[in-house]
Structure 1
Amino acid sequence: MADYVPTAYRNSTNSPDWLNKGDNTWQMVSATLVGLQSVPGLVILYGSIVKKKWAINSAFMALYSFAAVWICWVTWAYHMSFGDKLLPFWGKAKPALGQSDLIAQSTLPATTHYYKGGDVVETPMVAPFYPQATMVYFQCVFAAITVILLAGALLGRMNIKAWMAFVPLWLTFSYTVGAFSLWGGGFLFHWGVIDYSGGYVIHVSSGISGFTAAYWVGPRAQADRERFPPNNVLLVLAGAGLLWLGWTGFNGGDPYSANIDSSMAVLNTHICASTSLLTWTTLDVIFFRKPSVIGAVQGMITGLVCITPGAGVVQGWAAIVMGILSGSIPWYTMMVIHKKWSLLQKVDDTLGVFHTHAVAGVLGGATTGLFAEPVLCNLFLPVTNSKGAVYGGVGGYQFVKQLVGASFIIGWNFVATSIICFVISLVIPLRIPDEELVIGDDAVHGEEAYALWGDGELYDTTRHSGDYNMQQVGVATGVTQDSVAR
C-alpha cells in the first residue's frame, strides 16, 4: 500500500520526457483567456453596443460562430492552417480528432526553416513541449474570434441563415490561408514577415473581409443608419474589459511557451492599449468637447490590434509610440476621412471594423517593421538576425516585407470574401427582408432581449411560429396569464 499512487496522479508519474507542465498550463490558460474574449466577451459587447431590437441577433451571431468554428476546425481546418504543406499558402486538410496524434508532442511540420532556402537548417521545426491537443485548442479560439470580429461589420441586417453558411466557408477559404502563410510554415513565414500574434492573420483579415461582406450584404435600414444608440453602455464596457484582459492570453500565448518573450508581449500589450485609449479620448475631448465612452472602447481596441503583430519583438518605448499612433490614425480615418470619402460612406460597416481592425492592423504591421528589436526578434522569428528599420542594416527590408505581407492578406480576403458572398447569395438572400429590419430580433428570432414595460411578456402569435413563444411556454409549465392574475 505504501507504493499506491492515487488515480488522479498516475499519469503525472509517467509523463513523456517532452512534456513541460508549466508550458502546457500557460498555453491552456492563454487559450481559455482568448476564448473568453469571444464567449462571453464579444457576445456581451455586440449584444449591448447595438440598438435594443438587434441585441439578440448580434449576440447570437457571435455565439453561433464560436460553435461552428470548433467543429470545422477539428474536422478539417486545423491542418489546413498548421499541417503539412499543400501549397505555399495552404496546408493539407485532414481531421484533428485521433487520439494518437492529439496526445503526441505538438509539431508544426511545415515550419522547419532552411538557410536561404537551401539544405542547411537555420531554425528547427516548431515543436512546443505540450501535446497536439493543446495546440489545436489554442489555435481554434484564434480562428473563432477572427470570424466574430468580422461579424461586427454586419450587425443589424445580415440574414442569420446566410451567416450560418458564411462562417464555415470563410474559415475554410480565407482564414486558413492567412494562418498557414504567416504562422503554419507558408511562404510569408519563411520569408520572415512578422505577425507575432495576428495583426495580419486576424485583424487585417477580419477588417477587410468585414468591410467587403458589408458591401455585398447591403446597408441597415435607413432609420438604423441614422440613429443606432447602444442599448447598454455599461455592458459594452464589461464586454470590452473581457476583451482587454483576455488579450493577455492572446499575445502572451503566442511564443508557445511560458518564456521571457511571453512576459514582454503581455507588458507591451497593456502599455499600447492604455496609451491608445488615452490618445483617442484626448482627441474626442479636443474636437468634440466630451470624452466618449464608446470612443474610449474603440481606442482600446485599436491599441490592442496595433501592438498584436509586434507584441513580443518591440521595446516598451515603441509600444507607447505605437499606442499614440493607433489612438490617432484610426481616429482620423474614422472621424474625418470616413465622412469625406464616398466609398466609406456607401458601405455600411456597423462597428467600423475597417478602421479598428484593418487600419490598425496594417499600422501595427508597418510599425513592427520599424521598431522590431534584434534581440527580441531572435527569440521568436525563424529568420535569424531580423530587425526593424530604426535599427539599420536589413531593417529597411523588413519594413518592405511587412507591407508586402499586408498586401497579400488584403488582396486574398477581398477576393475570397467577395466570391463567398456571391455564391451564398445564389442560394440564400444575404440581407434580412426590409419588413423584418423594421422589427429586429422579434421578427428574426421570435425573442427579445429585455422584458421592459411589457416587452417579451406575451409574444404575438400572429408573428411567431417558433416553439419558444411565451404562450406555449406558459402552457407547458402551467404558468399562464390567468394563473398569474389569480
Structure 2
Amino acid sequence: MVTPFYPMASMVWFQCVFAGITLVILAGSVLGRMSFKAWMAFVPLWLTFCYTVGAFSLWGGGFLFHWGVMDYSGGYVIHLSSGIAGFTAAYWVGPRSKKDRERFPPNNVLLMLAGAGLLWMGWAGFNGGDPYSANVDSSMAVLNTNICAATSLLVWTWLDVIFFKKPSVIGAVQGMITGLVSITPGAGLVQGWAAIVFGILSGSVPWFTMMIVHKRWSLLQHIDDTLGVFHTHAIAGILGGVLTGLFAEPQLCAMFLPVVNSKGGVYGGSGGIQILKQLAGGASIIGWNLVVTSIICVAINLIVPLRMTEEQLMIGDDAVHGEEAYALWDDGEKYDSTRHGQYSDDTSHNKASIGATQVV
C-alpha cells in the first residue's frame, strides 16, 4: 500500500467539510418551517444512513466506484444527493406559511454577492484539491471550474435579458452556482473546450427547469423547495454527471480513475457505455436518497414534529429562538417568553437580547 504524502488528519477534515456542506445545501430546501429539534435529529441520521452510503459507493471503494462511474468531486455525492434529499424532505415537512411563499425577497443582495465571490473562490480548492496533489489533473480542475462557472453565469444572464428584458444579479449568481455544480463531477476529467459546453448547458437547462417547467408542473409548485435546491443542485448535478460521461478525456481519466480505459462517449470505442454508467449511477443516488430520506423524516415525525407550529411560523424561525437577525429601531421583539416558552437561562439571555435590540 502506497503511503500518501499528506497526514490522514487532512483527509479526514477534507471529507468532513464535504459532508457538512452537503447538509448546508440540503437545509436550503426546508428553510423557514422545519422544527429545530427535528433538524437536530435529521442531521446525524441522514449523514449516517444516506450521505455516507453514496460517498462510499462512489469514492470509498464501493460498487459504483469499481464499476467506473465518474464523480470527480461530488456532482453526485454532494449536489445530486442534497438536491434530491432536500426536495424529499421539503415534501414531508410541508410548505412555508402562505405569507412567506407569496413574498420572499432577498434580504441583502450585497452580502449575497460577497458570499458568491467567496463560494466561487473556495470552489477552486473544492475541485482542485480532489487529486490530493498538485498535478495536471488538479490544474485542469481549477481551470475548468472557472471556465464553466463564468460561461454559465453569462448564459443565465443572457436568458434573463432575452425573456425578462433585464439582467438580474440574483440570476447571475444562480447561473454561477449551476456552473460550479455542473462541472464538479468532471472538473479534472474534461478539456477546457468541454468546460465551455458544460457552462452553456448548466446556464440554460436549470434555468429552463426553474423558470419554465417549475411554473407549469403542479408537483414542483406543491413542494416548497425554499431556495430552489432541486434546480440548482440536483438538475445541475445530474446534468454534469451525464456530460462527464460524454466528454471525459482518456488521458485525464487514466490519471484519476481506478477503471482502465475509461473515457467519454465522444472519444469512441467503449466510451458510449460510460454515459449509461453515469445515468445508472445517478439513478442509484436518486433512489437511495429518495427512499432513505423519506424513512428518516417519517421516523422523526413519530417522535417530534417535523414542522414548526403555525404560531411559530408567524413570528419567524429566528425570533422563535428569542433572537432576531434584523431588529430595526422601535420594532421590538416578536418573541414573547410568556407565550413561546422561556430560555434555559432566562435572565441573562433576555438582558442581552433587549440590549442588542436597543443598541440597534
Deviation at 1:405, TM superposition (A): 0.4
Task: Please list, as runs of the form range in 1=range in 2, the aligned pairs for 1:41-440 lying within 5 A after superposition.
Answer: 127-440=3-316
**Selected match of 1:446 from 301, 322, 333:** 322
Contact 1:207 1:353 in 2 (8 A): yes
Are residue 465 (structure 1) and residue 320 (structure 2) matched?
no
- Gap change, CA 1:453 and 1:198, over 3 Å in 2: same
- State how far apart, in whole Å, the 2-side matches of 1:355 and 1:195 are: 19
Displacement of 1:473 after TM fit? Answer: 2.0
CA contact (8 A) 2:328 2:357 kept: no
Measured in 2, the distance between the counterparts of 1:191 and 1:475 equals 56
Structure 1 residues 439 and 366, CA gap change in structure 2 (3 angstroms): same
CA contact (8 A) 2:49 2:292 kept: yes
Q: How far off its partner does 1:210 sit?
A: 0.3
Asked if the contact 2:320/2:335 (under 8 Å) is kept, the reply is no
Structure-2-length-normalised TM-score: 0.94
With normalisation by structure 1, the TM-score equals 0.70
**Partner residue in 2 for 1:105:** none
Task: Give structure 1 stretches of 5+ with no counterpart.
Answer: 1-124
C-alpha distance in 2, partners of 1:426/1:447?
28
Q: How many residues in Structure 1 have an aligned counterpart in Structure 2?
A: 357
CA contact (8 A) 1:194 1:309 kept: yes
Runs of 4+ that moved beyond 3 A: 455-464, 467-472, 474-477
Name the aligned partner's letter for residue 473 of structure 1: K
Q: Is the 8 A contact 1:450 1:456 kept in 2?
A: no
The percent of aligned pairs where both chains have the same amino acid is 76
The alpha carbon displacement at 1:128 in A equals 2.5
Higher relative contact order (CA 8 A, sep 6+): 2
Indicate the SS of the match to 1:435.
Answer: helix
Conserved 8 A contact 2:148-2:183: yes
Deviations for 1:4-36, whole angstroms, at most 9, x for unmatched residues?
A: xxxxxxxxxxxxxxxxxxxxxxxxxxxxxxxxx
Q: Which residue of 2 aligns with 1:46?
A: none
Distance 2:179 2:357 in 1: 51
What displacement does 1:126 show?
7.2
User: C-alpha distance in 2, partners of 1:258/1:252?
Assistant: 8
Unaligned runs of 5+ in 2: none
CA separation of 1:451 and 1:322: change in aligned 2, threshold 3 A? same
The answer as to whether partners of 2:319 and 2:333 remain within 8 angstroms in 1 is no
Query: More displaced, 196-205 or 454-463?
Result: 454-463
Corresponding residue for 1:61? none
- The Cα RMSD (Å) is 2.2
- The whole-number CA distance in structure 1 between the counterparts of 2:352 and 2:222 is 46
Q: Is the 8 A contact 1:442 1:448 kept in 2?
A: yes
Q: Distance in 2 between the 1:293 and 1:369 partners?
A: 32
Deviation at 1:455, TM superposition (A): 3.7
